[in-house]
Amino acid sequence: MKRPALFFAALVLALALCACAQKTAPQASYSTTHYTLSVSGGKVVSDVDWVVSIEKDSSRDFVILNLTDIQLGTSAFQISFPRIRTMINALVEKVQPDLITVTGDISYGCGPAIYGICSFIDSFGIPWAPVYGNHDFENSGMSPETLAKVLANYKHCLFKVGPRSLAYDSLYGIEAFGNYVVNIVEKDGDGFEVVKSLVFLNSGTDGITELQMQWYADCMDSVKPYGEGGDVSCAAFMHIPINDYRNAANAAIKGSWYAVDLQDSYTSGPWKSGYENSFGVNHGGIANRARTNGFGALFRDKGCDLLVCGHKHENCSCIEYEGITYLFALKTGPGCYYEEGMEGGTEISIDGSGASTVRHCFYYDGKGCYYTPQDF
């Protein structure tokens, strides 16, 4: 008879501790924050430390290589890292990027993998900008605070902690920092214009929040005066997709998402009228984050025309829907799980007007990289 009593006492204590934790849990808060840009020492600089700029060569497109969900655990790091290096080397050689972005999940519970992958990416000497994925964020071999310090030590890494107390993850009670901006600028003498604003958002494990959307809106209000004609478009990078990805897929795909063949997706066959320029598949479904309902319209209304996410390893669809291109980035490597024939990176080219062109770059062992899926 003692065991039920002890169990009940333990349960009461646990509930009491949870109640205390809830009372003392940190609350997200945000005050309107605008930033300014100016030229100093020949570079475009901001009055806040979470906004950086990269200069674009006006004679050609600015090219981004996106990597996502490398996600190597301890054993996978030991076994797969040489292959990952070969893959990323081939992608960099093929794409010739001006910037490398990483849409989350660098590792999967392995500190050495974080150091190994980050050091390797930094060794290219190309600016690179990561966002946290849910596995980086929850504790991927090191705390999020430690990971932020690690990233700050890499010479070419643009990651910034960003505004504090902007969002908290309800599952872990951890601050979702790592929200920052990278502006692509063209200089002309002592003047400059912002061609495209890249906004990086930490989606934690719950997805992005209304406060993060308020911060995004303020960022876009801040940058627009520096664009041609007082306007700047945006590409936003995050790990977990917003729910509008589901709306885009439902609007564009004939029949079941899961029935679409990857190679067939590069034809008009699977796509409804008006969506024939779409490509890629959604074999992994779409993560449901109800609190992100309607965020697509908020992104669009402030100038976003491209959303880039990872998280779903068996998805690589690219669908233009209601003024925004909803892009699932192509998974980089086999870490955790993947679909055969769907490995590599994603190329995003940005022209002088800020318009973006997207194409996946598929990697095949011993055969290199291709801009369309192959059947070897």
Extract the runs of DSSP E, i.e. beta strands, from 275-376.
304-309, 318-321, 324-328, 344-350, 356-364, 368-370
Residue 172 lies in a domain: yes
Residue 77 lies in a domain: yes
Tally the residues of the chain. 376
Residue 314 lies in a domain: yes
Least confident of 76-80, 84-88, 105-109, 213-217: 76-80
Residue 376 lies in a domain: no
Task: Identify the helix (H) or strand (E) that includes residue 75.
Answer: helix 74-95
For β-strands 168-169 and 174-175, DSSP reports them as antiparallel
φ, ψ dihedrals at 138, nearest 5° = -70, -35
Instruction: Tell me the percentage of the chain whose pLDDT exceeds 70.
Output: 92
pLDDT confidence of residue 26: 63
Confidence band for 10, pLDDT divided at 50, 70 and 90: very low
Listed residue (266, 195, 270, 280) closest to 235, CA to CA? 195
- When divided into structural domains, the chain yields a total of 1
Question: pLDDT tens across 246-276, in order?
Answer: 999 999 999 999 999 999 999 999 999 999 9
* Domain carrying residue 103: 33-370
Residue 25 lies in a domain: no
Res. 238: pLDDT tops 70: yes
For the chain, the helix, strand and coil percentages under 3-state DSSP, each to the nearest 5: 30, 25, 45
Res. 45: pLDDT tops 60: yes
Q: In what order do the strands lie in the sheet with 304-309?
A: 51-55, 180-188, 191-200, 233-237, 304-309, 324-328, 318-321
Question: pLDDT tens across 132-184, in order?
Answer: 998 886 655 678 888 899 999 999 999 999 998 888 887 777 888 999 999 99
Residue 83 lies in a domain: yes
pLDDT confidence of residue 41: 92
Confidence band for 197, pLDDT divided at 50, 70 and 90: very high
- Residues 205-228 have a mean pLDDT of 95
Res. 12: pLDDT tops 60: no
Question: pLDDT tens across 325-349, in order?
Answer: 999 999 999 999 999 999 999 999 9
Residue 24 lies in a domain: no
Res. 46: pLDDT tops 70: yes
Question: pLDDT tens across 279-292, in order?
Answer: 999 999 887 788 89
Residue 366 lies in a domain: yes
DSSP, res 312: -
Task: Identify the helix (H) or strand (E) that includes residue 233.
Answer: strand 233-237
Residue 234's CATH number: 3.60.21.10
